[in-house]
């Protein structure tokens, strides 16, 4: 559909909920899922006479983010009031930042099919979240839950550097990974901790000025971002190709119908009448605080990936998969520390069997029933040749079902210990050679392929428990005339 | 008992001459007797008597703070837990605050006995008390005359002896102008000296609570209990609070008084100018010298103030939307109808006027021309004061261009009413402390009643102790502050 002549231009505004214990301007808790309006104090309710007091932890988390994207941290930033009426906005204004955001220009490198692309980040600013309007079960009325009101948000605005829905998703995933690495946001998209507005426009390839953009509001999954942008791009191209004109407007993505719908046009847009909030002093950030937070920065995904490749001799894909979350990387390093098994084989186990099991159970690594220590014990039994890799998979399945058990217990209970006693193996081999004279003849006349038949027979007779290296060695010796 | 100073009352309480319950009952009886003055919106009789009993107990135990058992009242802008806090508005006529303002807590802990909540212009917007939903309080000096505003109820109550002292708030002159009109002593502290937490906001960058009393000595005691850093107010300043009473009696020898000539030009009532001359002569006798100043930016204060205060008010008053508390219209058809009618019914016309002005000033395309320009003027005015206060110790000026006016005289012309604040609002823009002290009475003629005159004292940041000292020295050699309006003796 969107063939050669059109270039797609996308910028994302991502709202990340900062994982502070209390709200940005009050002492009320921020925990998700409490009974409506039980986590809203007088300040959150916008009672007459109340005043906001800035939560320093929110400031620190914003600075941490800024440092991680190598952005300029404003020595002086200002909170402003964004004025509009809505029932879930208790004060009739949202405290946000306009002219002097806390985080200035920075960037994020994203990976696209093995190639790296640098996406500019225009700014990131602190603001408070609004409450929620509940339209169900109120007999024609609306309910208001102000638990979320005042939850700290960091709004991260990208440059219009993204050129496809795929790039947009790659950027969003990368940012999602980063904020969780930094432990400034829990990244829970179902609970709205990480949500996205997409600014989308198209222009003829080669044109330098931007086309008229539309803004798609409040998309809360990677899948929907991709779908919403693709839908919107096609819609815009179709309009222009039919001689129409794009109207600058805010649109809403309807996941059920997979389409975007107009919410309001620019003419209908609110005049937010921003002005500096006189209840709050400008935020001043000194070099000392910056240095302190910089020193506390964790190893970031890109650096970790490089280190994994160098230190553990992992290939790019394995290193990438293992560093996709801080929890997975920590899990991997915990496993490697407790086994002598080759790190590459450990990586295969984690990206293979463990990840598959986690995906099937729809669990994150931090919720894995099998701990890193338990996996390490299992892999150690491969390393010391107690069991073969194949048997290990069987042990792993059992361990997954019974996470309180251990590899050694399962191996003992199920009699899976590998047989390395050459006498026992020799007896079996002798019997199989005696029982299959034709195949012996074929092998000796040069048909090497028959070798696999003998291995299979031995393993079958020994229920997979024979040491494969020993079997190979002995078979060659016996079959060679 | 209602003409005694706080110190005299504190001595009486400690000597057992009278109990706090007796004292409180005395004031409650007077409040009832002078009900027509309309100084109170809410009288908290039971609450007061309970507090008085506790105060008596505390006094008997010894070591009670100075204000223990002293009956006073709060301007109805300070939130009081469990007690109606109306801010003079129909919008909050049904509002029972679920928490105490910091100032309310502080005075409670200081042992003072709250008699009730005082009348005021709606949301502190007004200079005559006529914008109160509850009707204007009257000036004790004459029933047809306004007490000033917005802290008109506070000034009337103190002048009439219905409370020993009272809290007020001052955004553009709302403590000083009613203090001048009613012949009492009022102090607007430096911005950030008194916590604004729980003090319902009109214009956040200008609002400041302060004491209103019958003398500088009493004002010092009340301010002592109100002032101090509050972690709940980000704009309150973490600066130690001096002992205000200790500096009261310092000598004024060598004091340099500045008079900005811009404050003594056209528009100033001749008799007030004469009263100020007389007061300055008293200060000369006390050892002061007078220096004329020129502060040209002062003439820009009124437009800058009305842009900034209105802009902040338009945003501060957005929370009154009928959704969570306050007035809600009946049977709203939809959300827009709920907003429109709740606000149309709940707010009075002056509040609406300022919301409209402020909304306009902040609108896209006008922000730079109005709000930003006004901020620049504010900075210039502030610089002008800073500079002047390097040359002099205190700046003196009129508080008002004329004496208290009659009820209804200026309600038809808002601009005329705004000019009432000519001499007071620049001080709020600069964030400085300032006082109003009584320095005279107009001649008693059949056409015009005898009315008080105020003098404004303006000091550098955190010079409240100095201002109180300067005011007290004058009150030691004059008796204007001791005059009591006829009928309230």
**pLDDT band per the 50, 70, 90 thresholds, residue A267:** low
Q: Which two tokens stand for residue A251?
A: 């649109």
What does each C-alpha distance from A289 to A56, A68, A75, A155, B401 come to in angstroms? 11, 15, 11, 22, 52
B319 lies in a domain? no
Are residues A176 and A32 part of one domain? yes
A158 lies in a domain? yes
Are residues A213 and A142 part of one domain? yes
**pLDDT band per the 50, 70, 90 thresholds, residue B450:** very high
Q: Which residue is associated with the tokens 């040749």? A: A385
B404 lies in a domain? yes
Beta-strand ranges (E) seen in B387-462 are 394-398, 434-441, 452-458
Containing structural domain, residue A138: 6-292
Q: What pLDDT is stored for residue B31 in this prediction?
A: 98
Q: pLDDT tens digits, residue range B199-223?
A: 999 999 999 999 999 999 999 999 9
Buried/exposed A169-190: b ≥16 CB within 10 Å, e otherwise: bbbbebbbbbbbbbebbbbebe
- Beta carbons of B235 and A281 less than 8 Å apart: yes
CATH of the domain at B475: 3.90.1300.10
Are residues A268 and A187 part of one domain? yes
**pLDDT band per the 50, 70, 90 thresholds, residue B468:** very high
CA-wise closest residue to A312 among A341, A351, A273: A341
CA-wise closest residue to B454 among B267, B187, B227: B187
Q: What pLDDT is stored for residue B14 in this prediction?
A: 97
CATH of the domain at A454: 1.10.10.410
Tell me the C-alpha distance between B421 and B177, whole Å: 8
Query: Helices H, strands E: what count in chain B?
Result: 15, 11
Are residues A439 and A316 part of one domain? no
From A292, A310, A341, give the residue that closes a domain: A292
Residue A1 pLDDT > 60, yes or no? no
Best probe of the A interface among B324, B327, B361, B378, by most A CBs < 10 A, is B324
Are residues A258 and A178 part of one domain? yes
| Strands laid side by side in the B165-170 sheet | B40-43, B113-118, B71-75, B165-170, B208-213, B185-188, B434-441, B452-458, B394-398, B256-260, B289-293
B366 lies in a domain? no
Containing structural domain, residue B121: 6-255+390-482
Residue B157 pLDDT > 60, yes or no? yes
B341 lies in a domain? no
B348 lies in a domain? no
CA-wise closest residue to A67 among A235, A262, A291: A291
Please identify every residue of B annotated as catalytic: 75, 150, 174
Provide mean pLDDT across the span A201-215.
93
Q: What is the largest CA-CA distance in chain A?
A: 100
Nearest to B235 among A48, A49, A279 (CB): A279
Residue B195 pLDDT > 50, yes or no? yes
Are residues A48 and A121 part of one domain? yes
A1 lies in a domain? no
> Does the structure's ipTM exceed the value 0.90?
yes
Are residues A336 and A226 part of one domain? no
Provide mean pLDDT across the span B413-437.
92
Are residues A448 and A378 part of one domain? no
Q: What pLDDT is stored for residue A2 in this prediction?
A: 44
Number of domains in chain B: 1
Best probe of the B interface among A28, A51, A53, A84, by most B CBs < 10 A, is A51
Tell me the C-alpha distance between A279 and B129, whole Å: 26
From A242, A257, A292, give the residue that closes a domain: A292
Q: Any idea which of A448-452, A467-471, B66-70, B252-256 has the lowest mean pLDDT?
A: A467-471
**pLDDT band per the 50, 70, 90 thresholds, residue B311:** very high
B432 lies in a domain? yes
Q: Which residue is associated with the tokens 């109180």? A: B468
Are residues A400 and A429 part of one domain? no
A469 lies in a domain? yes
B333/chain A closest Cα distance in angstroms: 11
Are residues A270 and A407 part of one domain? no
Q: What pLDDT is stored for residue A446 in this prediction?
A: 83
Q: Which residue is associated with the tokens 């906005």? A: A89
Provide mean pLDDT across the span A23-30.
95
Are residues A176 and A42 part of one domain? yes
Number of domains in chain A: 3
- Beta carbons of A280 and B200 less than 8 Å apart: no
A438 lies in a domain? yes
Over chain B, what is the mean pLDDT?
96
CB-CB contact of A131 with A63 (8 Å): no
Q: pLDDT tens digits, residue range B52-76?
A: 999 999 999 988 999 999 999 999 9
> Is the CB of residue A273 less than 8 Å away from at least one CB of chain B?
yes
CB-CB contact of B317 with A85 (8 Å): no
From A292, A310, A338, give the residue that closes a domain: A292
A439 lies in a domain? yes
**pLDDT band per the 50, 70, 90 thresholds, residue A4:** low
Q: What pLDDT is stored for residue A439 in this prediction?
A: 86
Name, in order, each residue with C-beta under 8 angstroms of B15's C-beta and a sequence gap of 6 or more. none
User: What residue in B sits closest to A274 (Cα-Cα)?
Assistant: B362
**pLDDT band per the 50, 70, 90 thresholds, residue A414:** confident
Nearest to B318 among A52, A93, A271 (CB): A93
Element (H, E) at B335: helix B335-346
Q: Which of A314-318, A367-371, B290-294 has the highest mean pLDDT?
A: B290-294
Select the more confidently predicted residue: A466 or A93: A93
Chain B residues near residue A46 by CB distance under 8 angstroms: 319, 324
User: What residue in A sits closest to B367 (Cα-Cα)?
Assistant: A273
Q: Which residues pair with A219 in a beta bridge?
A: A196
Select the more confidently predicted residue: A404 or B134: B134
- Beta carbons of B79 and A48 less than 8 Å apart: yes
Tell me the C-alpha distance between A27 and B136, whole Å: 39
SS (H, E, C) A16-78: EECCCCECCCCCCECCCCCCCCCCCCCCCCCCCCCCCCCCHHHHHHHHHHHHHCCCCECCEEC
Q: Which two tokens stand for residue B61?
A: 């135990």
CB-CB contact of B128 with B405 (8 Å): yes
Are residues A242 and A354 part of one domain? no
A10 lies in a domain? yes
Percent over 90 (pLDDT), chain A: 65
Provide mean pLDDT across the span B132-145.
96
Buried/exposed B125-151: b ≥16 CB within 10 Å, e otherwise: bbbbbbbbbbebbbbbbbeebbbbbbb
Q: pLDDT tens digits, residue range B342-358?
A: 999 999 999 999 999 99
Q: pLDDT tens digits, residue range A158-195?
A: 999 999 999 999 999 999 999 999 999 999 999 999 99
User: What residue in B sits closest to A94 (Cα-Cα)?
Assistant: B315
B369 lies in a domain? no
CA-wise closest residue to A7 among A268, A249, A207: A207
Over chain A, what is the mean pLDDT?
91
Provide mean pLDDT across the span A344-361.
92
B475 lies in a domain? yes
């Amino acid at each position: 559909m969107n063939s050669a002549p059109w270039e797609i231009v996308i910028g994302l505004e991502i709202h990340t909920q900062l994982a502070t214990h209390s709200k940005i301007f009050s002492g009320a808790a921020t925990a998700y899922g409490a009974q409506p309006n039980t986590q809203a104090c007088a300040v959150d309710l916008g009672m007459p006479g109340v005043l906001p007091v800035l939560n320093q932890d929110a400031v620190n988390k914003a600075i941490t983010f800024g440092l991680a994207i190598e952005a300029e941290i404003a020595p002086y930033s200002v909170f402003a009031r964004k004025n509009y009426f809505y029932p879930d906005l208790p004060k009739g204004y949202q405290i946000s930042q306009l002219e002097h955001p806390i985080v200035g220009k920075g960037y994020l490198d994203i990976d696209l099919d093995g190639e790296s692309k640098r996406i500019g980040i225009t700014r990131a600013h602190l603001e408070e979240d609004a409450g929620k309007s509940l339209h169900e079960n109120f007999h024609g009325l609306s309910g208001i839950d102000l638990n979320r009101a005042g939850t700290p948000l960091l709004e991260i605005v990208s440059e219009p550097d993204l050129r496809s829905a795929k790039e947009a998703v790659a950027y969003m995933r990368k940012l999602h990974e980063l904020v969780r690495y930094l432990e400034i946001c829990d990244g829970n998209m179902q609970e709205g901790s990480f949500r996205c507005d997409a600014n989308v426009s198209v222009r003829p390839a080669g044109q330098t000025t931007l086309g008229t953009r539309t803004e798609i509001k409040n998309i809360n999954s990677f899948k929907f971002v991709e779908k919403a942008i693709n839908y919107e791009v096609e819609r815009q191209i179709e309009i222009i190709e039919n001689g129409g004109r794009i109207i600058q407007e805010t649109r809403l993505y309807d996941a059920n119908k997979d389409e975007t719908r107009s919410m309001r046009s620019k003419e209908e847009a609110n005049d937010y009448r921003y002005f500096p909030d006189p209840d709050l002093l400008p935020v001043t950030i000194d070099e000392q605080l910056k240095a302190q937070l910089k020193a506390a920065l964790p190893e970031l995904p890109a650096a970790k990936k490089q280190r994994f490749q160098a230190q553990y001799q992992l290939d790019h894909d394995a290193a990438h998969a293992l560093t996709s979350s801080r929890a997975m990387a920590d899990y991997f390093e915990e496993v490697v520390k407790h086994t002598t098994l080759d790190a590459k084989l450990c990586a295969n186990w984690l990206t293979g069997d463990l990840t598959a099991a986690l995906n099937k159970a729809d669990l994150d690594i931090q919720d894995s029933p099998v701990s890193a220590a338990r996996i390490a014990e299992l892999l150690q039994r491969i390393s010391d040749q107690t069991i073969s890799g194949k048997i290990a998979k069987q042990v792993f399945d059992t361990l997954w079902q019974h996470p309180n058990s251990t590899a050694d217990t399962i191996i003992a209970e199920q009699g899976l210990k590998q047989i390395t006693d050459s006498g026992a193996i020799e007896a079996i081999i002798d019997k199989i050679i005696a029982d299959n004279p034709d195949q012996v003849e074929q092998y000796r006349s040069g048909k090497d392929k028959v070798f696999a038949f003998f291995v299979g027979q031995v393993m079958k007779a020994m229920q997979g428990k024979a040491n494969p290296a020993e079997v190979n060695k002995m078979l060659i010796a016996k079959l060679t005339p | 008992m209602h003409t005694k100073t706080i110190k005299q009352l504190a001595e009486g309480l400690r000597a057992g001459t009278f109990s706090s319950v007796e004292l409180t009952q005395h004031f409650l009886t007077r409040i009832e007797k002078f009900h027509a003055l309309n100084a109170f919106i809410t009288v908290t009789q039971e609450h007061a008597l309970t507090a008085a009993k506790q105060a008596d107990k505390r006094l008997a135990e010894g070591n009670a703070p100075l204000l223990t058992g002293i009956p006073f009242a709060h301007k109805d802008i300070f939130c009081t837990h469990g007690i109606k806090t109306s801010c003079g508005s129909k919008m909050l006529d049904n509002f029972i605050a679920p928490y105490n303002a910091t100032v309310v807590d502080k005075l409670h802990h200081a042992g003072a006995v709250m008699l009730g909540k005082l009348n005021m212009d709606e949301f502190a917007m007004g200079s005559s008390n006529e914008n109160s939903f509850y009707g204007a309080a009257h000036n004790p000096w004459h029933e047809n005359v306004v007490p000033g505003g917005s802290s008109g109820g506070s000034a009337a109550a103190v002048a009439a002896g219905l409370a020993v002292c009272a809290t007020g708030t001052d955004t553009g002159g709302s403590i000083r102008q009613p203090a001048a009109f009613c012949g009492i002593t009022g102090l607007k502290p430096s911005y950030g000296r008194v916590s604004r937490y729980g003090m319902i906001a009109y214009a956040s960058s200008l609002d400041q609570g302060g004491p209103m009393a019958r003398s500088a000595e009493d004002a010092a005691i009340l301010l002592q209990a109100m002032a101090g850093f509050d972690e709940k107010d980000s704009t309150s300043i973490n600066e130690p609070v001096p002992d205000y009473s200790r500096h009261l009696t310092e000598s004024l020898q060598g004091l340099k008084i500045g008079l900005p000539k811009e404050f003594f030009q056209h528009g100033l009532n001749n008799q007030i100018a004469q009263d100020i001359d007389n007061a300055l002569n008293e200060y000369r006798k006390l050892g002061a010298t007078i220096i004329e100043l020129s502060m040209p930016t002062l003439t820009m204060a009124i437009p800058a103030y009305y842009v900034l205060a209105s802009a902040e008010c338009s945003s501060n008053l957005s929370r009154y939307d009928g959704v969570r508390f306050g007035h809600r219209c009946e049977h709203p058809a939809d959300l827009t109808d709920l907003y429109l009618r709740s606000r149309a019914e709940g707010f009075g016309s002056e509040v609406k006027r300022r919301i409209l002005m402020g909304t306009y000033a902040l609108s896209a395309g006008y922000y730079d021309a109005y709000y930003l320009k006004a901020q620049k003027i504010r900075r210039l005015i502030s610089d002008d004061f800073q500079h002047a206060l390097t040359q002099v110790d205190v700046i003196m000026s009129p508080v008002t261009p004329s004496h208290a006016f009659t009820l209804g005289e200026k309600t038809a012309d808002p601009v005329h009413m705004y000019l009432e604040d000519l001499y007071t609002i620049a001080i709020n823009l600069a964030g400085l402390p300032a006082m109003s002290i009584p320095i005279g009475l107009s001649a008693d003629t059949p056409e015009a009643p005898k009315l008080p005159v105020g003098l404004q004292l303006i000091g550098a940041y955190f010079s409240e102790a100095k201002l109180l000292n300067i005011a007290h020295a004058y009150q030691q050699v004059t008796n204007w502050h001791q005059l009591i309006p006829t009928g309230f003796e």
